[in-house]
Chain A
């Protein structure tokens, strides 16, 4: 674990959907180069936490510091320029754009992102189908495209919401390989995942979320001793 200040530091994050209080004081840190996973059952606030950090949910309080800057007052369309890239659960591939238009849509915000050639090397399927409409891709390819899209921009932090949802095991394995490649390149990743087996292969550290709060945190090395508690908390 690095001793320097965390890249992303969230304290007492509360968020509301209209009148409904969804997050009740989330605390979490993500250090440079780390892959951190939020675990938890459906509806406990994992997705809401990501959406609040990006700034899609505006009704929020507490503190979100990214790279030393206070993100709470940053408008949604400026979040990306600070280096936060977001891949939503529904993937958000645009049907009226070709694969390549989807891929090159987010503006490059900093040096250090992958080039188109590097991305096509990592995701050869996307190159083969670069002229097809985005939504003609399979679910797995759409997930690859949604991730590849952000890798081009030079984002420092990747927020990934359930990348394995609804995908076949062989595709999930491929996504795992991609995440490990990204880790080797030094990418910082905050992952929301229900697939505990998948998360245990890529993550360095875990937060367990329940009822809009972090109830536990541990490193991947401590995992074997936590299995009983996790099976209880996650209901798996």
Chain B
């Protein structure tokens, strides 16, 4: 049998793929967190709940209205984005003048309340959500079986990350966002409605979480706690990548996902903590993160 570092190549490539898929979700979620943090200076603890609601929106659209996966892929992020934009307008925007701790506590409380409500109505066990029939089945790559849906998730996540990055780095809207991140007051003197831009940004960041949620629904089950299990890892990813660094969040998301997968091959006991060990080392050696700007 072919081996690599004394490990069967099948196991190696299998974990590499699982790592890449987990990394796809880390990247999408940390991207949204980084966008929100960069612009609003808010640590959005509700991000995991917004991801969970994206998945539930898909599940409920199907169960209640018979709306399938593909329309849900568009509708779920819109629903999550609009609700979150409303929350920003009504509540979060009132906290900007206070210490950042207040908005952190607010989003933390929001996450607990949302997860609690969904647990009350749907219980803690997961609801199944079927893979869309166009993406059922898989490819036999010879060394392993690759489900089509997982290949789709990796590609979709890459496309989402790249287009978000392009939107922020290469467009006029992105220039407004970057400028308002640096000096919101001056951008307002130019005639740009920065408070509206903040609402839009929070909605966008949350919509990205919702999109990750609906993408995750067929892989993991739709459960009220799916977000809180993931969000701590995603926070570690954002810290390693550099708070507020868009590219840092994306690249670190994929890399740490893959690293976590490979740790399962070589030293399974450490796979649950490897990301946090890296986070601790990065905080000690380079507190601004791998791609963060020094404050």
- By the criterion CB–CB under 8 Å, are A97 and B189 in contact? no
Q: How many Å lie between the Cα of A112 and that of B94 in the bound state? A: 39
- By the criterion CB–CB under 8 Å, are B189 and A79 in contact? yes
- Stretch from A5-13, A100-108, A180-188, A216-224 that touches the partner: A100-108
Which residues of chain A have C-beta atoms less than 8 A from B189's C-beta? 54-56, 76-77, 79-80, 86
Within 8 A of A (CB), among B179-226: 179, 181-183, 185-195
- By the criterion CB–CB under 8 Å, are B191 and A81 in contact? yes
- By the criterion CB–CB under 8 Å, are B179 and A97 in contact? yes
Q: List 25 A-B contacts (CB under 8 A).
A: A54-B189, A76-B185, A77-B191, A77-B192, A77-B193, A77-B194, A78-B191, A80-B191, A81-B191, A86-B189, A88-B186, A94-B178, A94-B179, A94-B183, A95-B182, A96-B179, A96-B181, A97-B175, A97-B179, A104-B175, A105-B176, A105-B179, A105-B187, A105-B190, A107-B190
B167-179 contact mask (Cβ, 8 Å, vs A): 1 or 0: 0000010011011
Interface residues on A, range: 20 to 34
A19-58 contact mask (Cβ, 8 Å, vs B): 1 or 0: 0000000000000000000000000000000000011100
- By the criterion CB–CB under 8 Å, are B191 and A92 in contact? no
Which residues of chain B have C-beta atoms less than 8 A from A172's C-beta? none
- By the criterion CB–CB under 8 Å, are A92 and B183 in contact? yes
A137 within 8 A of B: no
Q: How many Å lie between the Cα of A94 and that of B181 in the bound state? A: 10
Q: Which of A79, A97, A101 contacts B191 (CB 8 A)?
A: A79
- By the criterion CB–CB under 8 Å, are A106 and B191 in contact? yes
- By the criterion CB–CB under 8 Å, are B175 and A101 in contact? yes
Interface residues on B, range: 10 to 19
Which residues of chain B have C-beta atoms less than 8 A from A101's C-beta? 175
A115-137 contact mask (Cβ, 8 Å, vs B): 1 or 0: 00000000000000000000000
Which residues of chain B have C-beta atoms less than 8 A from A95's C-beta? 182
A60-101 contact mask (Cβ, 8 Å, vs B): 1 or 0: 000000000000000011111100001010001011110001
Which residues of chain A have C-beta atoms less than 8 A from B193's C-beta? 77
In the complex, which residue of chain B has the Cβ closest to the Cβ of A80? B191
Q: How far is the CB of A48 from chain B (nearest CB, A)?
A: 14
- By the criterion CB–CB under 8 Å, are A97 and B186 in contact? no
Which residues of chain B have C-beta atoms less than 8 A from A106's C-beta? 190-192
Known A77-B191, A94-B179, A105-B175; further 14 A-B contacts with Cβ < 8 A: A76-B185, A76-B188, A76-B189, A77-B194, A77-B195, A81-B191, A92-B186, A94-B182, A97-B178, A104-B172, A105-B187, A105-B190, A107-B191, A153-B191
Q: How far is the CB of A163 from chain B (nearest CB, A)?
A: 16
Q: Which of A79, A94, A95 has the most CB of B within 10 A?
A: A94
Which residues of chain B have C-beta atoms less than 8 A from A86's C-beta? 189
Q: How many Å lie between the Cα of A97 and that of B187 in the bound state? A: 13
Which residues of chain B have C-beta atoms less than 8 A from A77's C-beta? 188-189, 191-195
Q: How many Å lie between the Cα of A78 and that of B179 in the bound state? A: 18
Q: How far is the CB of A123 from chain B (nearest CB, A)?
A: 19
Which residues of chain B have C-beta atoms less than 8 A from A56's C-beta? 185, 189
Which residues of chain B have C-beta atoms less than 8 A from A92's C-beta? 183, 186
A230 within 8 A of B: no
Q: How many Å lie between the Cα of A26 and that of B194 in the bound state? A: 29
A109 within 8 A of B: yes
Q: Which of A55, A77, A78, A92 has the most CB of B within 10 A?
A: A77
- By the criterion CB–CB under 8 Å, are A96 and B191 in contact? no
Q: How far is the CB of A160 from chain B (nearest CB, A)?
A: 13
Nearest 5 interchain pairs by C-beta: A80-B191, A106-B190, A92-B186, A96-B178, A77-B188
B247-270 contact mask (Cβ, 8 Å, vs A): 1 or 0: 000000000000000000000000
Which residues of chain A have C-beta atoms less than 8 A from B186's C-beta? 88, 92
In the complex, which residue of chain A has the Cβ closest to the Cβ of B180? A94
Q: How many Å lie between the Cα of A101 and that of B179 in the bound state? A: 10
